[in-house]
Structures are given as C-alpha cells and as structure tokens.
A = this chain, B = another copy of it.
Amino acid sequence: MKQRRQIPLRSDIAWSTPDRISVFGYDLPQQLIGKVNLGDMGFLEIVGRLPTKAESNVFNALLVTLVEHGVTPSAIATRMTYAGAPEAMQAAVAAGLLGLGTVFVGTIEGTAQILSEAIPNPNAKVALPTLADKIVADHRQSRRSIPGIGHPIHKPVDPRVPRLFSVARANGFGGPYIKLMQLVAKKAEAAYERNLPINATGAIGAICCELGLPWQVCRGIGVMARAVGLVGHILEESRRPMALEIWHRTDAEASAHIRGQSRRRT
C-alpha cells in the first residue's frame, strides 16, 4: 500500500477566505444573497451558472410542483422520526427524503433517461412517432412499466401536467422532449387499453430534458423540493401531533390476530 499514488482532490464549487465566499465563481454576499431565489441556487448547483429569467421560471416551477402532496409516506416517516427525536429536526427531514427512490420520485430520472437517450441532440430532425412506438414496444416486450405515466389518484389528467407544460412553453422550452413524452403516453394508452396520463414526475423529467439537465441528477429536483415541504410537516407535528396515534392504531390492529398467542408455554 505504500506505493499508492495520491490523486489530487479537486472541487470547482466554492472557496472561502476570511472576507470572501465564492460559489461557482459568484461572490456569495454581493452577487447571490438578496439577488436570487432558492430555486435559482438549485439551478446553479446543477448547471454551474445562474439561470436566465425564463430558465428560473421553469426550474422553479418544477421544484414548486414537488414540495408538497399532503401526508405522504415521506411525511409519515418524517413525523414518526420527529416523535422520537424532536431535538434533531434534520434527522426527521432526512428520514422523509430516504424514501424518494424508484417508486415515488425516481421516475423523474427514468423518464429523463429514456427521453434524452431517444433524442441525444434536441436540434436534430427526428421522427417522434417512431421513437414513441419504439419506447412503448421495448417496455412492453421486457415487461417493464414506462416511467412517468399513470397515477393512482390523478386521472384522467394529472392537473399539474398541463400547467407545467404551459409554463415550459410560455418560457420557450416547448421542444421535442415534451412532444415525445405526450406521444409515449398516447401510444401507451392505446397499447395497454387503459388510462395512462403523464404524471407530474413524467412531465418534470421531460422538462428537465428541455432545460438540458443531465438525467443522472434529475431525482435531485424531487429531493430539493421535498426537503422544503417536510419542514412544514415537522412544524405541524410539533403543534398537532399524529405520529403516536398512527402508531397505536397500527400496532393494535396489526397484532390483534396473534395477541396472547405463544409458541410454547414458558
């Protein structure tokens, strides 16, 4: 192990001296604090520069969409954690973020990957209906569900989706990825013969592609947004708790069928 050659550590994100802090080349106090909003900072972290006004509008719209959806599994995990460790609010937020995986938010990632791989160059001429047919056929053949379509509650239309597409278009981001996503949903509905509307994460994945964001980081948009929302659930839990009540009800019902039973006498 002695001979291991050191690889230099290198980060382009920020530097500090006693009187200055620089973030992606911007002077934090003078060029960012009081000048941009939190969503713009998210864009800066992903793209490495501040957004234009149009990009800011669209990127913030994506984030705003995912901040809050009521007492979700995430919010319940956060509230359960807060009930046990109210002195560590950061842990309660973290617990709620941990479930943002392939089932609930990772679909942004899946959608963005499919669309960006289908159209590597947004300026090239492509036959969108052919691409959509291929995406649906590939998923049917391998029996994988298509990420970004279908919703258990919001049908026949997820109300967030037309609004997101309208904001994107109004700001100049109504390009081929949105159109391809719409074709995929339409063709999937025909192929599977059931209601499969584009859902919020599908629309967000498509708009991420319009903004040119790398698909690998798109789940991060959901994570940023939900961290904001979970703080609200902590505040409400501190004022009007529900975690312990959910616990007591669940435990009583779940163990009722075995209560009093033993494997053998002691």
A-to-B contact residues, CB < 8 Å: 1, 4, 6-34, 36-42, 44-46, 56-57, 60-61, 63-65, 67-74, 76-77, 80-95, 97-106, 153-155, 157, 159-160, 162-164, 166-167, 170, 214, 216-217, 219-220, 222-225, 227-229, 231-236, 238, 240, 242-255, 257-264, 266
Contacts and interface: CB of A to CB of B under 8 A. Distances in A.
Contact of A34 (B61, B89, B100, B262): B61
Given A80-B74, A234-B217, A67 B41 contact: yes
A154 B16 contact: yes
A71 B231 contact: no
Contact of A70 (B16, B71, B74, B162): B16
A88 B63 CA distance: 19
B101 A88 contact: yes
Given A10-B242, A217-B234, A242-B250, 20 more contacts: A10-B240, A10-B254, A12-B258, A17-B259, A19-B157, A21-B159, A38-B64, A45-B235, A71-B247, A73-B80, A77-B81, A85-B88, A85-B101, A85-B103, A86-B102, A90-B222, A92-B98, A220-B235, A223-B231, A242-B254
Given A36-B60, A64-B32, A105 B90 contact: yes
B260 A71 contact: no
Contacts of A98: 81, 84-85, 88, 90-92, 94-95, 98
A242 B255 CA distance: 12
Contacts of A38: 37-39, 42, 60, 63-64, 67, 224-225, 228
